[in-house]
Amino acid sequence: MPSAEEIQQYLTGAWRMMIGKADGLKLLDLSADGFWNSFLAIPIALPALIVGWVGIANELGENPADFGGRLSILIRLAIVDFSAWVVPLAAFAAVVSRVGLRDRFVHYVVASNWSSALIVWLMLPPALLRLVVPATADFAGVLSLALFAVSMVMTWRLTNVAIGKNASIATAVFAAMFFVSLVVLLGLQAALGLNGPDQLAG
């Protein structure tokens, strides 16, 4: 179990990679323990995720007084988001040897996990705005899209550093992982009956 100082170091490393600094990779723990510990980024992101889920559940719930209905939506949103986080990494693990990136698999997963926690917190302001001031939903949606665009640029930069090959290979990995995430996200949303307009905000 990493200490608070080590977690801060890993988040700092991921952030530096997200702004295109290759030295951020040196701040990550790329050992076997570091690989598994990087999934602690999920509980670190959980408070910010919950804010987003509550806001969406409030919007999708037909009856504001129906706590059970909103709880069901929260659980389904959690399943969607956690699957969209983990399944693409599992898919990458399944093909990494075939595409010649086995030596960069740990680098990518560790960096991706810690950066995902940062991105979730980056997306918190519009989620909070939507939750606290529902009348600003349109503005919150625009802000979400802007932050999403920024996060995509930063994720590509992190991927480029983590893969450590060249920009074209990094772009291919980035595009493939985004595609798998999107398929998982949209597929589970449809399967679980989450068909509201703001699903991607989670």
What is the C-alpha separation between 144 and 90, in angstroms, rounded?
27
pLDDT of residue 64: 53
What is the C-alpha separation between 58 and 70, in angstroms, rounded?
7
pTM here is 0.90
Tokens 């509201």 belong to which residue? 196
Lowest-confidence pick of 2-16, 103-117, 124-138, 142-156? 124-138
Q: What angle do CA 165, 184, 113 make, to 5 degrees?
A: 45
Q: pLDDT tens, 74-131?
A: 999 999 999 999 999 999 999 999 999 999 999 999 999 999 999 999 999 999 998 8
Q: Residues 17-41, buried b or exposed e (16+ Cβ, 10 A)? A: bbeebeebbebbbeeeebbebbbbb
